[in-house]
Each structure stands twice: as C-alpha cells, then as structure tokens.
Amino acid sequence: MMETVHVGLGERAYDIHIGPGLLSQAGELIAPLLKRPQVCVVTDENVARLHLESLRAGLASSGVKMEALVLPAGEGTKSWPHFERTVEWLLAEKVERRDLVVALGGGVIGDLTGFAAAVLRRGVGFVQIPTSLLAQVDSSVGGKTGINAPQGKNLIGAFHQPALVLADIDVLGTLTPRDFLAGYGEVVKYGLLGDADFFVWLETKGPALASGDEAARIAAVKRSCEMKAEIVARDETEQGDRALLNLGHTFCHALEAATGYGDRLLHGEGVAIGCALAFELSYRLGLCSQEDPSRVRQHLSEMGMKVDLKDIPGDLPDADALLGLMAQDKKVVDGQLRFILARGIGGAFVTSDVPRETVRNLLAEELSRR
Ligand code: GLY
C-alpha cells in the first residue's frame, strides 16, 4: 500500500513515503537513518493528543526511544519565542549532529522544527511527519523552513531539506472537513499549474477523496508530491521555476494579510480563491479561454470550497489597499510584482508583465460583488 516519491537532490536527496499506518511503521522507516536509537519529536497540543502515542509505539516497536516537546497549536507558535524554546529544548536533550529531529504536525510545526534543525549545531537532520493535507502535499516537502516576523510571514528561515517525509494517510481522517478542504486547495493547485490530466482526475475523484476514499487520497498526495519533487529538484532555492508553486499565492498573501492570518481565511482557502483569480486574470489578459476560469470555479464550488472574495466573511479593504498588500509579497523583484498566470489548465508560467490597472479592475469588480 505504501507509495514512495523520491526527491532527487544529490547528496540532499530523500524519500517521501505515502500510505496508511505509517505512524506505526515509523520505527522501521526511520531506524535505518539513525546512528543511535533515539529521536526528539516536536509537535503541538492538538496533534499530540491525537497521534503522539501512536508515534511513540511505532518507534518503540523498532527499539527507538523518543522525547517530545509539545508546543501550543496555531500560527502564533511560528515565532521567535517558541523557536528559542525549541532550540534550547533540543540542546537540553543533547541532540547531536548525527541525530534526527522529528516534526510531527502541520505546516507550523514542520516549518518551525525544520528551521530549528537547520541552525542547531549548524545543522542537524530532521524527519517530517506531516499531519495535515496541506503539509503532506506542500510544506513538508522541499526544504523551506522558517518562522514569521512582525513584518510578515515566513520572513526568517532557511532552506533545509528533511532526511525523510512520512505522509500517513490515516491521520487525514482526524482533520475537520474545513481543514481537509483547505489542504485540497493546494492539491488542485498542482493540476492547475502543470498537469491538466490530474485536474480532470480531481474533477471526477474530488468528492470521493473528500469523503475519505483511501486510494484516492494516496493517489492525490502522491501526484502532488511528485510534481513538487520534480520542481524542487529543478530549482531548489527558487531562482526560477519553483515560483510556479506559488500559483494563487500573490492574491492569497494579500487576502491573508487583510484578514489577519486567522480563522476568517485559512491559507489553503486563500490559495483556492487566489487560483480562481489568477485564471480570471489570465483570461482577461487574453492568455487562456473563458472556459478555464469557469472550470476552476465550478470545481472549487462543487467541492464546497471558498471561490470568491464574497465567500470571505467580514470587511475587506478596497482594491488599492489589496494591491498595496500584494506589493509586500516576497516575490516582488525590483518593485515589480510577479504573477503566476496560465495559458490554460496545466499551463502556468511566471511573469512580471501584468498591467497594474487590469489587476486593480479585477479586484474592484470582485469586491463590488460582495
Ligand atoms: N510552498 C511553495 C514552495 O515550497 O516553494
């Protein structure tokens, strides 16, 4: 049942294992990488309650001992104070250069723990055990690690590839439908950016996938990871093509900033809305047919996801203010906003050549429908 995707990064290459029951197999999967049979695990309170003892048992069955640090759940944990606490705990646990640190959790825990591993003793290895769909298909793969700064999200960090990723499909069963669908926003993104056949498959299989079909979940996580692995192997540090993974994210980051990075709009929900806007913008710029944005929106609606700005509760700033927030995106180069646009479903590309007025008009129209 277990599928494996290889991330071909030379001496930093690693495997992503995807399948059910991987927490209980964690010991046999991790032990070959260990120099001594012990690991330090960083997790959060919610994940610890649901999965920490399964991981402990899975490690113990291969004779691997673990110590755990349980942090508060939520985006606020991706910050200096919790980072300091994590690094100091790992030092107190006497983690050595050749040990592995394990991140058990969603994107917040994965990013924070990966960054702690990147700087501890100038770099120790780490294993990602992502427990959200978003983390399984995106944040646990590719080595982006870091924390948030008061000035913005993910502004402090390092590229540090994991030594192994274990995506246990069973843990997705403990997600709320809203969290699952937010992660699904990133899955759809892969079809939209580079694999039209995958998008067609999702149009058919999406509902079964959301209601728990295990084979469909494994296939979707595998295809997403394959696409991410292929792009990361080509452009590890985002000098070019890796930016394709940011389809929908220029709009998303502005909407997240406008809504306070919280419960009003989850990251994956913002990605889905952002993808719909990116396709609408591509159509308005004459790059793709009118049918493409309609298909994107229809699939997201059929999945019960947020699609439009009007689906975001509460007030939003006006089009100029949203444009101002977009200009703070990390993808800005020489003051020029970079967009990921598409010549059709599966045909995304990176460009700075987007008239500001077209984006402004699109946002203003979308806001007027609220
Ligand atoms: N989440 C986008 C990337 O890893 O590049």
Give the closest residue to 167 by CA, choosing from 221, 102, 238, 125: 221
Neighbours of 197 (CB within 10 A): 11
**pLDDT band at residue 333 using 50, 70 and 90 as cut-offs:** low
Alpha carbon 134 to its chain's center: 5
**pLDDT band at residue 337 using 50, 70 and 90 as cut-offs:** confident
Q: What is the pLDDT of residue 329?
A: 67
Give the closest residue to 362 by CA, choosing from 307, 245, 283: 283
Write out pLDDT tens, residues 165-184.
Answer: 999 999 999 999 999 999 99
Helix or strand (DSSP H, E) at 217: helix 214-234
Give the whole-number percent of the chain exceeding pLDDT 70.
Answer: 98
CA distance 102 to 8: 21
Average pLDDT value for residue range 179-190: 98
Q: Which of 17, 217, 267, 284 is catalytic?
A: 267
For ligand 1, pick from 108, 242, 247 the residue to mutate: most ligand atoms within 8 Å of CB. Answer: 242
pTM for this one? 0.96
Beta-carbon contacts of 283 under 8 Å, excluding residues fewer than 6 positions away, are 289, 290, 292, 293
Q: What is the pLDDT of residue 338?
A: 86
Active-site residue, 249 included: yes
Q: What is the pLDDT of residue 150?
A: 86
CA distance 295 to 223: 20
Atom 3 in ligand 1: residue holding the nearest Cα: 245
- The highest-level CATH class for domain 180-368 is mainly alpha
- What is the number of alpha carbons within 13 Å of residue 334 lying toward its C-beta? 2
Q: Which two structure tokens, joined as six digits, stand for 312?
A: 């975001």
Active-site residue, 17 included: no
Ligand 1, atom nearest to 186 Cα: 1
Q: What is the pLDDT of residue 104?
A: 99
Ligand 1 centroid to residue 238 C-alpha, Å:
9
Q: What is the pLDDT of residue 267?
A: 95
Domain ranges of the chain: 3-174, 180-368
**164: amino acid identity, one letter:** L
Give the CATH architecture of domain 3-174.
3-Layer(aba) Sandwich (3.40)
Ligand 1 centroid to residue 117 C-alpha, Å:
19
**292: amino acid identity, one letter:** D
CA distance 250 to 328: 9
Go through 205-234 and write b for each residue having 16 or more CB atoms within 10 A of its CB, e for each that does not.
bbeebbeeebebbbbbbbbbbbbbbebbee
Ligand 1, atom nearest to 246 Cα: 2
Write out pLDDT tens, residues 293-321.
Answer: 999 999 999 999 999 999 999 999 999 99
How many residues in the chain? 370
DSSP percent split of the chain into helix, strand, coil, nearest 5? 55, 20, 30
Same topology, domains 3-174 and 180-368? Answer is: no
72: DSSP letter: P
Q: Which of 56, 253, 284, 306 is catalytic?
A: 253
Q: Which of 11, 94, 122, 357 is catalytic?
A: 122
Q: What is the pLDDT of residue 365?
A: 97
Cβ-contact 204, 154 below 8 angstroms: no
User: What average pLDDT does the chain have?
Assistant: 96
Average pLDDT value for residue range 14-19: 98
